[in-house]
Amino acid sequence: MERIALISDIHGNLPAIQSVAQELKVQNIDKVICLGDMIGKGPNSAETLDVCREISDMVIMGNWEKFIGNNPTPGDVNWVEVLGKERLEYIKTLPETIGFYLSGKYVRLFHAHPHDLFKRVFSTSPLEERLEMFEIPKLGREECETCESDIVGYGDIHGAFIETINGGKTLFNTGSIGNACDYLPMASYVILEGNYGSKEPGNFGIQFCRVEYDTIKAANQAFHSNIPQKEAYIQEVKTGVYCIDRNKQ
């Protein structure tokens, strides 16, 4: 069985991704897939993007990469200066969804929703919205399978969960590496286990992992930066509690 680490929503938090990169080295990981939102919110977007790119075998586009790729100077931050031209071009080229067989199940991974990078689905959303998550993506695809997904993994909401619904379909969220908002101020990621690429039914596993990192260091780096909504970000990093006055995850 292969072990595939899924990381998401790193959001410019360098101490968090550095701790996770160290942890992945001792976890016998065969493949790392990043589900996007490497940048934004935290103070070290460029360096964090570089680490994600270095440790990941595949990177999927998040809503921040989509938005900043199209609007590099939205007003509060000059992303041309923050990221530089090469990284800005890179984030525009990222695929929006990927898919593969794992022990006979068809797995799709994307940042937020199969049809819309900016649509947010929670564990508490209506059943019909959760079922939409298994539809064949209308977003850009790296694959051309004509089946609905059996297993869907996504990021975006910064809160890890798993649910088995409607005839054994599995929906899970990886949580966030750099901006966990599920009341636990630790990096959150998932290890998928199974026979990668195999259509033969077999055993598989989905493991939720939390990694300690230096939240005080992350808060201090934010304090000495000029990121927008600095106080809210620092509170979130220290407590793992989402500040409701912030409108973008």
- Chain residues binding Mn ion by CB under 5 A are 9, 37, 249
d(CA 25, CA 55): 10
Q: Which is nearer to Mn ion, 196 or 208 (CB)?
A: 208
- Nearer to Mn ion (CB atom), residue 66 or residue 87: 66
Q: What is the DSSP letter of 112?
A: S
The closest residue (CB) to Mn ion is 37
* Minimum distance, C-beta of residue 11 to Mn ion, in the bound complex (Å): 6
Q: Name the residue nearer to Mn ion (CB basis): 9 or 150.
A: 9
Residue (35 or 206) nearer to Mn ion, CB: 35
Given 3-state DSSP classes, what are the helix, strand and coil percentages for the chain, each rounded to the nearest 5? Answer: 30, 20, 50
Distance CA(68)–CA(51), nearest Å, equals: 19
Beta carbon of residue 144, minimum distance to Mn ion (angstroms, whole number): 28
Non-local CB neighbours of 85 within 8 Å, separated by 6+ positions: none
Q: How far is the CB of 8 from Mn ion (least distance, A)?
A: 7
CA distance 151 to 204: 11
Minimum CB distance to Mn ion, residue 133 (Å): 17
- Looking at the DSSP bridge assignments, the partners of residue 163 are 171
